Structure 1
Amino acid sequence: MTASSTPGSSVSTFVPDSPAAWRRLLIALAIATIGCVGTWSIVVMLPKVQADFGGTRGAASLAYTAAMIGFGVGGVVTGRLTDRLGIVPAMGTGIVSLLLGYLGAGMSSALWQFVAAYFFIGLGASATFAPLMAEASHWFVRRRGIAVGIAGSGYYLSGALWPALIERGIAEYGWRMTHIALGVSCAAAMTVLVLIFRSSVGKSQPRAPGVASRPSVDLRLSPNALTAILSVASFACCVAMAIPHVHIVAYCGDLGYGVARGVEMLSLMLALGVVSRIGSGFIADQVGGMATLLIGSVAQAAALGMYLFFNGLTSLYVVSALFGLFQGGIVSSYAIVVRETMPASEAATRVGTVIMVSLLGMSFGGWIGGVIFDKTGSYQVAFLNGLAWNALNIVIVLLLLLRARRARAPHRAGVPG
């Protein structure tokens, strides 16, 4: 197939699902694995930062809130930039913001400055998530679900790899120098990878014209209405998702197991999240994004509920592993649902909007978990709060799935047997 070209560029040939598409995807995964460090570093830093600034758990958790807000807002901004100019300028913008944010956090003298710096850290990481998943969806047709899952796996792969390195850096050099080192090293590595990536995509950002450009699922809802509904659903599921993600390290410390055990559980959770995200892509290619989203949401609720009944060291490892395995594919499923139900030309912007709201849910969930702990001295009520939000998500997704099936029924009835 011949890809579209822009003025002043030569016509490029690009075949979806080709070896070139897979090479492009692997480079993108490497960039995301480095860039998404900005969403996980505060999880490991939280106890040290709280102690150093003398704040409450809820106040220190605001840094995570700021990072998620920046990650969400940045997803929309860089998504719009991707739809108009391509993914390379969006990632370049992210690198600059990530560097400035980490330098600011490392040099902050007050908690509010530290929190503000994490907004820019989150903003910088955003270009390597939602816009990259949406962009990857243009490179594949038969294996779109798997491709989106792999592109989104950088988020969890980053969480599996970085926490142990960050913990070691804090122990050796302190949290301030660790922030500065993260900013410089990540910006340098991402710059090299983006230059390699740019040479693989070319200046024209080739895509296959007309391939799956129309929605494959008709929900009989306007794109704006569907975006709003998916946004509410994503907010609800991510409030629940945030509790273990943000507080498992601190939770293990409170139980007397030590921060290091919590870091190990977080890494295990996120490593299995990679498996879940790619596995969900396989499932989505078979049953569709909406059904895959429902499966993930129900499974997440089951795993979250287990935290209410098990708090032994071994059992927490098992529950955290199950949580990672069950919930890892949820967010990438939203990207697949958007591609199935909305115009391809708006993919990055729509995905970025839904992911932005989901990250507001993550930020709210992380913050409210800390507040509930400060009020009750326990995480039990926080887990129950997460389950209530998860139930709301299940109801919304189930209703959308039923609507999609009802919309297909008249069509099927009109087809001769």
Structure 2
Amino acid sequence: MPNIAAIWLDDGRSTEELARAVHAALKQCEKTPAFVPDSPQAWTRLGLALLIASIGGVGMWSVVVVLPGVQAEFAASRGAVSLAYTLTMFGFGLGGIIVGRITDRFGIVTAMSLSIACTGIAYLLAGASTTLWQFQAVYFLIGLGTSATFAPLMAEASHWFSRYRGLAVTIVAAGNYVAGTVWPPLINLGLEWLGWRGIHVAIGLFCAITMSLLLLVLRARMGGAGAHDHAQAPPPPLKLAISTNALTALLCIAGVACCMAMAMPQVHIVAYCGDLGYGVAHGAEMLSLMMGFGIVSRIGSGFLADRIGGIRTLLLGSLAQGFALTFYLFFDSLSSLYLISAMFGLFQGGIVPSYAIVIRETMPAREAATRVGIVIFATVVGMSFGGWISGVIFDATGSYTAAFANGVVWNAVNIAIVLGLLVLARRRPAVA
């Protein structure tokens, strides 16, 4: 940075020369970047973002663990209590769009502050619920607050990196799976001491305090609450021969299709194992295996995207998911189901974050959080509808064979769309 004081102390220049020198120095200061992508500072931000995502991701998993206790207290049906999970997913998907828009306009710190407040208050209200409908409604707010830890945070992290953008996005996305691995056993342990009401209060206080502290550190690393790292971002490296809105619509359809396929094993593997006589415990282990390998898949897909691009990574992930899903049609022994479930988790974990990478490669940075939120909402719709329709198909046929086949068909739709995008994509010429 130029020494402006030294310029003023140089009495060998005329007033006009001094004014020009100071003006030039100030212009140089303005051009000096306060933040360098892929720098150690960027990795520090990424580490903070991963911690925030891993803590805030509890909103996606807590209702699954407390469901039996809530059902017993309110003397409700399993389906009625499960509506809380549906509302969580709807709040999560809708919140991705709302919080994404706030992020694009006011910055991630402001958006995350609102989400932390929403999450903390919602968990306290959940613990104080006196009726089932209150508990269900509050979980919509929990999903709304949790949404900031996924799509908006992925989009924001994409602005901190250039060379390792794909890896950064998938690391943040892995926070959701880390939460799914760490939080359920902790909540189950807390239920023995505090009950389902007390554990909700404890989660709300813990999230509000720890996430606020982490956000304050992140805010300091970003130079203030109003920081917009996308303001100076370079243009997207890829250009498609369709409008941004049309591309968003295609990605939404692709997102619904891939998650219709993804939902079948994730939502029904426990019940499937019970129907086969293996017991639900084995099914739960297979689900945990999917999540664990999903973390590996998400990180690995980030490395891959940085080398071959988001569209190709998305295509490979979709092809691999369809390949693994097909095996469920032909093998149902206990050992083979464990192996296929591990393979399925290893293949599918990187698909959803790839949409965020594709958006950053093809759309303006100033719209990234909003566009990512819209597409992630579409994937949530696919997961919700896919889980439901698989159950309907099972009820109609008495078997999961047709449900798995339905997933394979939807996966083929996703592959066709992504192949079309790959044909349309062309790299922008480098700016000298």
Tell me which residue corresponds to 1:401. 422
Q: How far apart are the structure 2 equivalents of 1:380 and 1:259?
A: 19
Tell me which residue corresponds to 2:227. 205
Tell me which residue corresponds to 1:327. 348
TM-superposed CA distance for 1:286, in Å, is: 1.2
TM-superposed CA distance for 1:38, in Å, is: 1.2
Pick one of 358, 366, 369 that aligns with 1:337: 358
Pick one of 287, 292, 297 that aligns with 1:271: 292
TM-score by length of 1: 0.86
After the TM superposition, which segments of 4 or more aligned residues of structure 1 sit over 6 Å from their partners?
none
Structure 1 segment 183-262 matched on structure 2, within 5 A: 183-203=204-224, 204-205=226-227, 207=229, 210-212=232-234, 214-252=235-273, 257=278, 259-262=280-283
Q: How far apart are the structure 2 equivalents of 1:145 and 1:170?
A: 38
Structure 1 segment 13-412 matched on structure 2, within 5 A: 13-46=34-67, 59-170=80-191, 173-203=194-224, 204-205=226-227, 207=229, 210-212=232-234, 214-252=235-273, 257=278, 259-373=280-394, 378-404=399-425
TM-superposed CA distance for 1:341, in Å, is: 0.8
TM-superposed CA distance for 1:55, in Å, is: 5.7
Q: How far apart are the structure 2 equivalents of 1:21 and 1:242?
A: 34
Count of residues paired in the alignment: 400
Q: Deviations over 1:301-347 (max 9, x none)?
A: 22223333444443333222111110111111000100111111111
Q: Deviations over 1:186-209 (max 9, x none)?
A: 232212211222122121526375
Q: How far apart are the structure 2 equivalents of 1:315 and 1:230?
A: 33
Q: Secondary structure at the match of 2:239?
A: coil
Indicate conservation of the 8 Å contact 2:59/2:142, yes or no: yes
Q: How far apart are the structure 1 equivalents of 2:279 and 2:194?
A: 20
TM-superposed CA distance for 1:58, in Å, is: 5.0
TM-superposed CA distance for 1:170, in Å, is: 4.1
Q: How far apart are the structure 2 equivalents of 1:288 and 1:175?
A: 45
Q: How far apart are the structure 2 equivalents of 1:166 and 1:245?
A: 21
Q: 1:398 to 1:210 in 2, by over 3 A?
A: same
Give the letter aligned to residue 395 of structure 1: A
Q: 1:66 to 1:95 in 2, by over 3 A?
A: same
Give the letter aligned to residue 399 of structure 1: G
Q: How far apart are the structure 2 equivalents of 1:398 and 1:142?
A: 25
TM-superposed CA distance for 1:52, in Å, is: 6.0
Q: Secondary structure at the match of 1:221?
A: coil
Q: How far apart are the structure 1 equivalents of 2:219 and 2:155?
A: 17
TM-superposed CA distance for 1:232, in Å, is: 0.9
Give the letter aligned to residue 193 of structure 1: L
Larger Rg: 2
TM-superposed CA distance for 1:73, in Å, is: 0.9
Aligned CA-pair RMSD: 2.9
Indicate conservation of the 8 Å contact 2:230/2:366, yes or no: no
Q: How far apart are the structure 1 equivalents of 2:130 and 2:399?
A: 30
TM-superposed CA distance for 1:235, in Å, is: 1.2
Q: How far apart are the structure 2 equivalents of 1:111 and 1:96?
A: 23
Q: Deviations over 1:247-286 (max 9, x none)?
A: 3345445555555544433332212111111111111111
Q: 1:296 to 1:55 in 2, by over 3 A?
A: farther
Q: 1:364 to 1:176 in 2, by over 3 A?
A: farther
Q: Deviations over 1:228-252 (max 9, x none)?
A: 1111111111122223333334544
Q: How far apart are the structure 2 equivalents of 1:353 and 1:198?
A: 25
TM-superposed CA distance for 1:53, in Å, is: 5.5
Give the letter aligned to residue 207 of structure 1: D
Q: 1:347 to 1:206 in 2, by over 3 A?
A: closer
Give the letter aligned to residue 148 of structure 2: A
Q: How far apart are the structure 1 equivalents of 2:301 and 2:95?
A: 25
Q: Secondary structure at the match of 1:127?
A: helix
Unmatched tracts of structure 2, length 5 or more:
2-29
Indicate conservation of the 8 Å contact 1:159/1:266, yes or no: no
Indicate conservation of the 8 Å contact 2:251/2:375, yes or no: yes
Q: How far apart are the structure 2 equivalents of 1:378 and 1:51?
A: 30
Q: 1:65 to 1:208 in 2, by over 3 A?
A: closer
Q: Secondary structure at the match of 2:238?
A: coil
Give the letter aligned to residue 205 of structure 1: A
Indicate conservation of the 8 Å contact 1:133/1:148, yes or no: yes
Unmatched tracts of structure 1, length 5 or more:
2-8, 413-417
| Sequence identity percentage | 61
The worse-fitting range, judged by mean Cα deviation, of 358-367 and 150-159 is 358-367
TM-score by length of 2: 0.83
TM-superposed CA distance for 1:374, in Å, is: 5.3
Q: Secondary structure at the match of 1:218?
A: strand
TM-superposed CA distance for 1:44, in Å, is: 3.9
Indicate conservation of the 8 Å contact 2:106/2:228, yes or no: no
Indicate conservation of the 8 Å contact 1:159/1:271, yes or no: no
Q: How far apart are the structure 2 equivalents of 1:268 and 1:191?
A: 32
Q: 1:232 to 1:255 in 2, by over 3 A?
A: same
Higher relative contact order by CA 8 Å / sep ≥ 6: 1 or 2? 1
Tell me which residue corresponds to 1:415. none
